[in-house]
Amino acid sequence: MSRVAYVDGVYRRHRDAAVHIEDRGYQFADGVYEVIAVRGGKLIDEVLHLVRLRRSLGELRIAGALADAPLKVVMREVVRRNGVVNGIVYLQITRGTAPRDHGFPKAARPILVVTAGCSRPANPKLVEEGISVITIPDIRWQRCDIKTIALVANVLGKQQAREAGAYEAWMVDAEGRVTEGTSTNAWIVTGDNLIVTRAADHSILDGVTRQALIAIIRREGYAFAERPFTVAEAKAAREAFLTSTTSDLLPIVAIDGQPIANGAPGLVSQKLRADYLAHVAEGG
């Protein structure tokens, strides 16, 4: 089956799909995106993704993008045309095409691109043995809460992690506190079993997986705090893990090469992963 992408109102063969060279996404990273998991043919936590999308568009003052109802139709059609049962939908909205000038163009209208692709479940080894992360300075801007396509700092961080043989890089603010991973949110479980993740202020992206997991944590009655934690606190923690749409929840067993606790995935992480996967199995 050949892949199909939706580009500005038209379904095209993926290999022929293209935007204008003066698309402001291409020239200024002036746009936003979402990645939504597809499991068993369903779009997981779609409403939370659409709420975040509207917020991102509002913060960038991009008006006139396709409304939720037709957008849902397009996403389902792209999923259907690509035969995706388990995978992801990627959607991107830029401010549009206009002669290059930093200020907002008067005439441009938003350009929507939607693609979908299949993916396999996480490598069982990552779940059973856990993953490692490195820590790096957070060199991003001050509005990381907006899901913009301006990801070059994240790209450099992920590459640094790969070159260090790690799954992810945790970014660290000027006070030595972890913000988040390059494409994931960061969590620890302290020695007295408190689950901790940074509050969703302007320094992190409020992950949809993060939001769904917080609802589960509250429902299950775990001790939980939204507050920053330092790299030192993370290294001394009982457990650590990360969350994202494409990674679900993965236990972290080493930070900067230093084992967390006994160096094996923690019990709370494993239970939360199972609870999160049950939430996904129910369709989110």
Tell me which residues are annotated as active site. 147
Of residues 208, 148, 204, the one with CA closest to residue 181: 204
Candidates 14-22, 95-103, 201-209, 215-223; binding stretch for ligand PLP (CB under 6 A): 201-209
Single-letter amino acid code for the residue at 108? A
Candidates 4-12, 20-28, 78-86, 203-211; binding stretch for ligand PLP (CB under 6 A): 203-211
Candidates 23-31, 80-88, 114-122, 240-248; binding stretch for ligand PLP (CB under 6 A): 240-248
Least separation in angstroms between CB 166 and ligand PLP: 16
Phi, psi of 49 (to 5 degrees): -65, -40
DSSP 23: B
Dihedral (CA of 219, 224, 227, 229) sign: negative
**185 sits near ligand PLP (criterion: CB under 6 A):** yes
Least separation in angstroms between CB 209 and ligand PLP: 3
**138 sits near ligand PLP (criterion: CB under 6 A):** no
Report which residue's Cβ sits closest to ligand PLP: 207
**183 sits near ligand PLP (criterion: CB under 6 A):** yes
Q: How many CB atoms lie within 10 A of CB 84?
A: 19
**209 sits near ligand PLP (criterion: CB under 6 A):** yes
User: Residue 130: is it exposed, middle or buried by C-beta count within 10 angstroms (0-12/13-18/19+)?
Assistant: buried
Least separation in angstroms between CB 214 and ligand PLP: 11
Out of 180, 239, 250, 254, the residue judged to bind ligand PLP by CB under 6 A: 180
CB distance 276 to 209 below 8 Å: yes
**210 sits near ligand PLP (criterion: CB under 6 A):** yes
Give the separation between CA 220 and CA 217, rounded to whole angstroms: 5
Contacts with ligand PLP by CB under 6 A: the residue count is 14
Give the footprint of ligand PLP on residues 57-96 (CB under 6 A). Answer: none
Nearer to ligand PLP, 105 or 117 (CB): 117
User: Kind of pairing, strands 131-137 and 168-172?
Assistant: parallel
**244 sits near ligand PLP (criterion: CB under 6 A):** yes
Residue 230, helix vs strand vs coil: strand
Record the tokens describing residue 17, joined without a space.
């799909």
CB distance 89 to 43 below 8 Å: yes
**208 sits near ligand PLP (criterion: CB under 6 A):** yes
Least separation in angstroms between CB 165 and ligand PLP: 21
- Helix axes 208-220 and 267-281, enclosed angle (nearest 10): 110
Task: List contacts with ligand PLP (CB under 6 A).
Answer: 35, 154, 180, 183-185, 205, 207-210, 243-245
